[in-house]
Amino acid sequence: MTSGTDYHDYFIRDGRHVGRYEEMYQNCPDPWRIEELGLRLDMRAALLLLAGREGLVSRFLDAGAGLGLFSGLVAAQLWQTNPAARGVITDISPTAVARAAVRLADPRLDFLTLDVRSLAANTAFPPGHFDLVVLAQALWGLLDNLDETLAALAALLPAGGLMLVSQHFPGPGRQGYGVEVVASPEDLSTRLGAAGLTLLDTLETNRSTNHHWAALGRRDN
């Protein structure tokens, strides 16, 4: 078994999803360069989509939060308008969740080890429980049952609830995994629509190179 410090060995290698996330966080201190890069342009773009809507959110879920940097940015922005807003920060890796809990220690936040792909069969949260669901940089780990997962996440929102999606896409001609499921933001938009979400706004950065796409969707019924 691989035990190196290259995150590709645990995530996606040679066009195949490996998905050994707990080992990755144990062996790779900063797999996504969170500590190194901090507040990236794609994070700023996603946060901009929330601007002016913070007052609508009393409870939020970050599904697949990793080390929790973006979770903290979302929480800080929400708290400027609603200091009583509460959040649940989740990831499939217990190590990642533990590190996020240290980073973001706050009584308004709860931390839970959760495989997002299990949400359709999970009763941890009742339907309509959250006003906002965040799905940031988690797409490539969900492709084996993407439609079911998106529908389960949407079901956690009431009518009018929001989903914030932020996702990196490989540059043109560089995608070697999952292209048959989602090859572009347009493909992901279609699947979000099928999950019952209407896109209110989108933002893109660096489409020709290090492409990031952010979208804010609303559940209408």
pLDDT of residue 195 exceeding 70, the answer is: yes
pTM: 0.94
Q: Which amino acid is at 192?
A: L
Alpha-carbon distances of 188 from 2, 133, 159, 197, rounded to whole Å: 32, 16, 21, 11
pLDDT of residue 13 exceeding 60, the answer is: yes
Least confident residue range of 72-76, 87-91, 196-200, 210-214: 210-214
Q: Which alpha helices (H) appear in the chain, and where do they start and end?
A: 21-27, 34-37, 41-50, 69-81, 94-103, 146-155, 185-194
Torsion of Cα atoms, 35 then 40 then 45 then 50, to 10°: 20
Instruction: State the number of CA atoms in the 13 A half-sphere of 97 facing the CB.
Output: 19
- Residue pLDDT, tens place only, 164-189: 999 998 866 666 788 889 989 999 99
Torsion of Cα atoms, 11 then 13 then 17 then 18, to 10°: -60
- Residue pLDDT, tens place only, 28-71: 988 988 777 777 888 899 999 999 999 999 999 999 999 999 99
Contact (CB, 8 A) for 49 and 214: yes
Q: Which pLDDT value is given to residue 211?
A: 86
- Residue pLDDT, tens place only, 75-117: 999 999 999 999 999 999 999 999 999 999 999 999 999 999 8
Torsion of Cα atoms, 170 then 174 then 180 then 184, to 10°: 40
pLDDT category, 3, cuts 50, 70, 90? Answer: low
Four-way CATH pick for 39-219: 3.60.40.10, 1.10.3720.10, 3.30.1330.40, 3.40.50.150: 3.40.50.150
